[in-house]
Amino acid sequence: MSKFRFPFQRATASKPSVVAPSQAPGADFAPLPSNLTAERVLHVQHYTDRLFRFSITRPTSFRFRAGEFVMIGLRTDGRPLLRAYSIASPPWDDALEFYSIIAPNGPLTCRLKHIKVGDEVLMAHKPTGTLVLDALTPAKRLFLFSTGTGFAPFASLLREPETYVKFDKVIVTHTCREESELRYSEDTVNALPDDPLVGEAAPLRVTRYATCTQDTCRRAGRITDLVSSGAMFDDLAIAPLDRTHDRAMICGSLPFIHDMQLVLTNAGFVEGSNASPADFVVEKAFVG
Ligand code: A2P
The pLDDT tens digits for 129-172 are 999 999 999 999 999 999 999 999 999 999 999 999 999 999 99
Whole-angstrom distance, CA of residue 15 vs CA of residue 11: 7
- How many structural domains does the chain have? 2
For residue 264, is pLDDT > 70?
yes
State in Å: Cα 253 to ligand 1 middle. Answer: 7
151 plus 261 within the same structural domain: yes
**CA-287 nearest atom, ligand 1:** 8
Whole-angstrom distance, CA of residue 39 vs CA of residue 216: 40
H or E element in which residue 142 lies: strand 141-147
Domain boundary among the residues 128, 148, 163 is at 128
Is the C-beta atom of 150 inside 6 A of ligand 1?
A: no
**pLDDT over 70, % of the chain:** 89
- With the most atoms of ligand 1 within 8 angstroms of its CB, the residue from 99, 109, 256, 259 to mutate is 256
For residue 15, is pLDDT > 50?
no
Domain boundary among the residues 74, 99, 128 is at 128
Nearest partner of 125 among 25, 58, 203, 40, judged by Cα = 58
Is the C-beta atom of 219 inside 6 A of ligand 1?
A: no
Mean pLDDT throughout 87-110? 96
119 plus 196 within the same structural domain: no
Query: pLDDT tens for residues 188-200?
Result: 999 999 999 999 9
**CA-258 nearest atom, ligand 1:** 23
State in Å: Cα 201 to ligand 1 middle. Answer: 31
141 plus 269 within the same structural domain: yes
164 plus 242 within the same structural domain: yes
Neighbours of 194 (CB within 10 A): 8
91 plus 157 within the same structural domain: no
pLDDT at res. 7: 34
179 plus 118 within the same structural domain: no
114 plus 241 within the same structural domain: no
**pLDDT over 90, % of the chain:** 85
pTM for this prediction: 0.91
For residue 25, is pLDDT > 90?
no
If one compares 26 and 80, the residue with the highest pLDDT of the two is 80
- Per-residue confidence band for 286, with pLDDT thresholds at 50, 70 and 90: confident
- The CATH number that applies at residue 204 is 3.40.50.80
Mean pLDDT throughout 124-130? 97
Residue 269 structural domain? 133-284
Domain boundary among the residues 83, 112, 128 is at 128
155 plus 60 within the same structural domain: no
